[in-house]
């Protein structure tokens, strides 16, 4: 179920840990006026197209935590764990720590999601 805040939402894929041991892809939403359609492409395994679009988005806004989290998932799924680690660490290095709503309808800080993603990389 898709949860919207303030009538506007942007979706993306993020890696998170559930129960401390289960890694899964989860849809996250951020309250903005822009719709991010990369979630469908990532869920369908169309990593190349999503990566290209997200990289272009980062060129416009190098600190976009949602683009970084999405890219981290793509990097991990395509065997580029060092690049995934770098993307997660870039989120953690930012001053801002906005919220995302994950598929379980939980609200998380992007830094919490990034830390969980790093934990998944460490376990692999």
Question: What would the pLDDT profile of 14-38 be if each residue is shown by its tens digit?
Answer: 443 333 222 333 434 454 433 344 5
pLDDT score at 105: 66
- Total domains in the chain come to 1
- Per residue in 77-88, pLDDT (tens digit) is 999 999 999 999
Least confident of 3-17, 82-96, 102-116: 3-17
User: Residues with Cβ < 8 Å from 69, sequence gap 6 or more?
Assistant: 12, 13, 14, 15, 28, 87, 88, 91, 100, 110, 113, 114, 117
**Parent domain of 20:** 10-123
Using pLDDT thresholds of 50, 70 and 90, give the confidence band for residue 43: confident
Total-model pTM: 0.70
Q: Per-residue pLDDT averaged across 89-111, rounded?
A: 84
The answer to whether position 107 is within a domain reads yes
C-alpha to C-alpha distance for 124 and 122, rounded to whole angstroms:
6
Q: DSSP secondary-structure letter at 109?
A: E
The answer to whether position 75 is within a domain reads yes
């Amino acid at each position: 179920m898709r949860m919207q805040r303030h009538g506007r939402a942007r979706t993306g894929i993020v890696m998170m840990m559930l129960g401390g041991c289960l890694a899964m892809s989860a849809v996250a939403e951020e309250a903005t006026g822009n719709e991010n359609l990369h979630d469908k492409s990532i869920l369908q395994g169309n990593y190349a197209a999503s990566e290209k679009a997200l990289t272009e988005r980062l060129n416009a806004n190098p600190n976009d935590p949602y683009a970084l989290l999405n890219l981290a998932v793509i990097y991990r799924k395509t065997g580029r764990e060092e690049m995934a680690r770098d993307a997660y660490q870039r989120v953690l290095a930012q001053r801002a720590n906005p919220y995302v709503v994950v598929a379980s309808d939980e609200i998380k800080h992007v830094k919490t999601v990034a830390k969980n993603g790093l934990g998944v990389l460490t376990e692999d």
